[in-house]
Amino acid sequence: MGVPRSNGCLLCVQRRVKCDEGLPGCAKCIKYGKPCPGYDRGFKFVAGKPHRSKRSPGSKTAAGGAHLVDIRSGKSSQAMQQSLVRRASSLWLRSADTNVMQSLDILIGDVSQPFPASATYTTARWFTFLPAIYGRNRTLDASIRCFVAHHIGLVTDNKQAIMYARSTYVEALNRLQRSLYSPTESLSSEVLCAVLLQCFFELFSNAHDSTSWMNHAKGLSRLVSFRGCDSYQTEFDHILLKACRGLIIMHSLFSKEKCFLASSDWHSVMKQQLDSTVSSSFYAQVEELFALYTTIPCFIHQLFDLRQADPAHETTQQRASELLTDTLDMQNKLITWYDKFSRTAPLPAEVLSSTGDTLYPIVYSFTDVDTAAIFAAYYSYMVIVHAILDVCRYPGDHAALVTYFRDQVCMSVEFNAQGILGPSRLGFPLLVVHEFADPPTKAWVQGWLQRLSKTYKVMLPQNYRQ
């Protein structure tokens, strides 16, 4: 297969001018007065039958403890990494007509590592729907191709695959713009899935613009809301909603907009269980916590406003009184929830840090990733609650409790960081820890961000210093 010598866009190559290789399009084309055609060199995927590589007879499953991530380097274990490179490189180097279904098969296997696929409650399960829906919609197809190509390029250090991902991303963005204006496509499940994939692509790949993902998250929030509560009655739509809601909450947090998912109508939609991947009792309690979690942007917005307000002003005192009442109510709800959940799910065990961590030599080990993520979410919310109670000068040593729950989050990081999607589970918890950290803990967080950002670019340490 011939590899073009120039990495420039097709129009710049044709005009024989130096391309700046900008994304989503180069500035030379804009100056020339033409739309940038992107960087695609005819590197194509073709649909085919799914393929899964055979396990060797002696290989262990993730449940048996094999293939745990090496969090010191931010990469998979050596055996897992070698396996990924062998499988993925063969796809990209064998021919130009790379099979997108095989790439999807690799992606789905990788996002569930080192946990069984059945354990991925919301974080990874939506990826398993992609092979069945590939080919339905061109916007979604381009979004799938760019995301899987980036993944293949990342795990194999294949620059050609990454270049293909970037050029296909330009195509996906252009197609999405047209789809959103189409009365037949704009509210479809496929277009919602495409927006979600493009947002994930920005989170994993964009090391130059820490805010680009928020533009997608904003569009994702508006699309989910505009489709309305009645649009999430199929299993696919419902799992998409679950996959979107973390990004919706983060957009609400940064935009200072109220999170629309906090309404009772949306709570009713989300608590429906349309699959049997987890027990009904566990599912109900996870959804109960998430219903409480949709209010966290509102609490954080009020906390920061109160910090900056004049404490002697009558209006400030009134706002503080109202916030204190709401926070005490939320604290009671969280404590009641934790009392029930701790009888449903096993509490974490204390183990020695596998990295020899000097600040947190004892860390938590959980039974599964779902439980770990839920406990981390609870710890994070309790940090916010006690920070508000401290600002409102409510009786009690709330500063010490902020430190206690902050440390609970930190002790859960090592377990939650495992796997390709580990960083996405830690985005909010580490943001909370960083905000309420003393200098040693802040330096500790920065070290973790440096490791996690090797694959999840949005977690570059400089993004947390802003």
pLDDT higher than threshold 70 for residue 349 = yes
Domain region containing 129: 97-277
What is Dmax (Cα atoms) for the chain?
73
Higher pLDDT, 50 or 166: 166
Does some domain include residue 10? no
91-93-95-100 Cα dihedral, nearest 10 degrees: 30
Q: Quick one: what percent of the chain has pLDDT higher than 70?
A: 80
Does some domain include residue 271? yes
Question: Is residue 142 a contact partner of residue 171, using CB atoms and an 8 Å limit?
Answer: yes
Note whether 126 and 247 are same-domain residues: yes
Note whether 311 and 245 are same-domain residues: no
What tokens does 329 get?
């109510």
106-110-114-119 Cα dihedral, nearest 10 degrees: -90
Q: Which of 43-52, 307-316, 337-346 ranks highest by mean pLDDT?
A: 337-346
Q: Of 277, 303, 332, which marks where a domain is finished?
A: 277
Note whether 210 and 254 are same-domain residues: yes
Dihedrals φ, ψ of 98, to 5°? Answer: -65, 140
Q: Of 223, 242, 277, which marks where a domain is finished?
A: 277
Q: What is the pLDDT of residue 23?
A: 61
Note whether 288 and 238 are same-domain residues: no
Q: What is the pLDDT of residue 360?
A: 97
**What are 177-193's pLDDT values in tens digits?**
999 999 999 999 999 99
Note whether 422 and 311 are same-domain residues: yes
pLDDT higher than threshold 70 for residue 43 = no
What tokens does 154 get?
């990342």
pLDDT higher than threshold 80 for residue 241 = yes
| HEC readout, the chain | CCCCCCCCCHHHHHHCCCCCCCCCCCHHHHHHCCCCCCCCCCCEEECCCCCCCCCCCCCCCHHHCCCCCECCCCECCHHHHHHHHHHHHHHHHHCCEEEHHHHHHHHHHHHCCCCCHHHCCCCCHHHHHHHHHCCCCHHHHHHHHHHHHHHHHHHHCCHHHHHHHHHHHHHHHHHHHHHHCCCCCCCCHHHHHHHHHHHHHHHHHCCCCCCHHHHHHHHHHHHHHHHCHHHCCCHHHHHHHHHHHHHHHHHHHHHCCCCHHHCHHHHHHHCCCCCCCCCHHHHHHHHHHHHHHCCHHHHHHHHHHHHHCCCCCHHHHHHHHHHHHHHHHHHHHHHHHHHHHHHHCCCCEEEECCCCCCCCCEEEECCCHHHHHHHHHHHHHHHHHHHHHHHCCCCCCHHHHHHHHHHHHHHHHHHHCCCCCHHHHHHHHHHHHHHCCCHHHHHHHHHHHHHHCCCCHHHCHHHHCC
Q: What is the pLDDT of residue 24?
A: 57
Note whether 152 and 204 are same-domain residues: yes
Does some domain include residue 206? yes
The b-or-e profile of 174-208 (16+ CB within 10 A means b, else e) is bbbeebbeeeebeebbbbbbbbbbbbbbbbbbbee
Does some domain include residue 53? no
| Confidence band, pLDDT 50/70/90 cuts, at residue 201 | very high
pLDDT higher than threshold 50 for residue 47 = no
Note whether 314 and 181 are same-domain residues: no
Note whether 149 and 273 are same-domain residues: yes
Note whether 259 and 402 are same-domain residues: no
Note whether 145 and 247 are same-domain residues: yes
Does some domain include residue 113? yes
Q: What's the total number of domains in the chain? A: 2
Note whether 255 and 308 are same-domain residues: no
Average pLDDT on 398-422 reads: 95
Tell me how far apart the alpha carbons of residues 90 and 92 are, in angstroms, rounded to a whole number: 6
Does some domain include residue 250? yes
**What are 52-103's pLDDT values in tens digits?**
334 334 433 333 332 223 333 334 445 554 554 455 444 444 433 357 888 8
| Confidence band, pLDDT 50/70/90 cuts, at residue 426 | very high
Does some domain include residue 3? no
Q: Of 243, 259, 277, which marks where a domain is finished?
A: 277
Tell me how far apart the alpha carbons of residues 131 and 102 are, in angstroms, rounded to a whole number: 9
| Confidence band, pLDDT 50/70/90 cuts, at residue 195 | very high
